[in-house]
Homo-oligomer: A and B are copies of this chain.
Amino acid sequence: MKNTFGQSIAVTIFGESHGDAIGAVIDGLCPGIEVDLDFIDAQLSKRRPSGKTDTPRVEKDNYSILSGVFEGKTTGTPIAIVIPNENTKSADYQYGKARPSHADYSAYCKYHGFEDYRGGGHFSGRITASIVAAGAIAMKALEKINIKIGTHILECAGVRDNAFDNISAEIDALASAKFPVLDIDKGDKMIAQIEDARMDTDSVGGILQTAIYGIPAGVGEPWFDSVESILSHALFSVGGVKGIEFGAGFDMAKMRGSQANDAFEIKGGKITTKTNNNGGINGGITNGMPIVLNLAIKPTPSIAKEQDTVDFTSGEQVTLQIKGRHDPAIVRRACVVVDSVCALAVADMIAQRYGTDIFLKGIK
């Protein structure tokens, strides 16, 4: 469905980087969920550039909610969110020279030259602001059934953060972290590396780690709507994501079965597993353990260094020096986007299983 994701709870996004506005419509969300404007603001501010690791293009994200909210709560009908674009400098962009690792050329092949190319157009990371606003509303629905989500930078420019260990508390800590890492010292080293890349007119990527805590066992489907299928589908929407692994992921490929298998045990009267190499999912269905996943984020393609490329309007080889304002790393800003995407996808899976009103009624 192109720019729509979800079945019972569906989000539709729209907008271009340098158009009038971007936005999202969330349909199917349970009525009666509090819409906390301060929380939406706080989430948006996590996505906004700030400081040396990010682009200097800063926008206020003065969003409006046009529908679906009445007296501070969701009505159950579509919630339309619009965020105006304010700080655009379209003159920085010219058409034809394909920026390497960007969508310029593939978009040209798809849209035949009618695409809005300014600032990446519809492919811009700017559009994720809509996803963050929508995700903030979904998170409040999940909160009512005690599901919470958090993401930290597991690795950036060779610096490795701790992996999730005490997930519930770590998610709580990340919610108010300035730089989303579990070990602040590692965060400082990452920031230094990012700054270093920026000074070198270059960029860096990294690995994000996300945990979804409190999801009950029995959610998801075998085969085509496995929890891995749904989450990966949603998360590969985020620009720059080039890999995903659940639990031990690619490391499991190196293990033997006797090491990789998660033995079941009874703990606190509950069925649980001793390890979580499967990342909370067996046979595509949650097993009650936290869902844990890692995402590979490629380095920001926009770098100030001169690059070889092609002008696809003339068919000639040219060189390109990208102007404009860009992030030397998007790993920090991507964390809240990933949380938001996960919130929307998890809310949808929950609503499909338990019905649309479950966030009001609670799971029994």
B250 and A296 contact, CB distance less than 8 A = yes
Task: List CB contacts (< 8 Å) of A274-308 with chain B.
Answer: 274, 277-279, 281-288, 296-303, 305, 307-308
| Interface stretch (choices A38-46, A166-174, A227-235) | A227-235
Bin chain A's interface residue count: 35 or more
A14-B67, A19-B67, A67-B14 known; A223-B204 Cβ under 8 A = no
Whether A150 sits at the interface, judged by CB under 8 Å, is: no
Whether A175 sits at the interface, judged by CB under 8 Å, is: no
In the assembly, how many copies of this chain are there? 4
Q: Which residues of B contact A20 (CB under 8 A)?
A: 64-67
Interface centre among A236, A244, A303, A310 (most CB of B within 10 A): A236
Whether A163 sits at the interface, judged by CB under 8 Å, is: no
A236-B232, A244-B243 known; A74-B114 Cβ under 8 A = yes
The 8 A CB mask of A54-90 against B (1 = contact, 0 = none) is 0000000000111110100111111110100000000
Partner pick for A2 among B67, B223, B279, CB 8 A cutoff? B223
Q: List 24 A-B contacts (CB under 8 A).
A: A2-B28, A2-B78, A2-B221, A3-B27, A5-B223, A19-B70, A20-B64, A100-B273, A106-B218, A106-B282, A106-B286, A107-B222, A122-B222, A122-B223, A203-B257, A204-B255, A206-B253, A224-B237, A258-B303, A263-B309, A265-B317, A266-B316, A271-B312, A274-B308
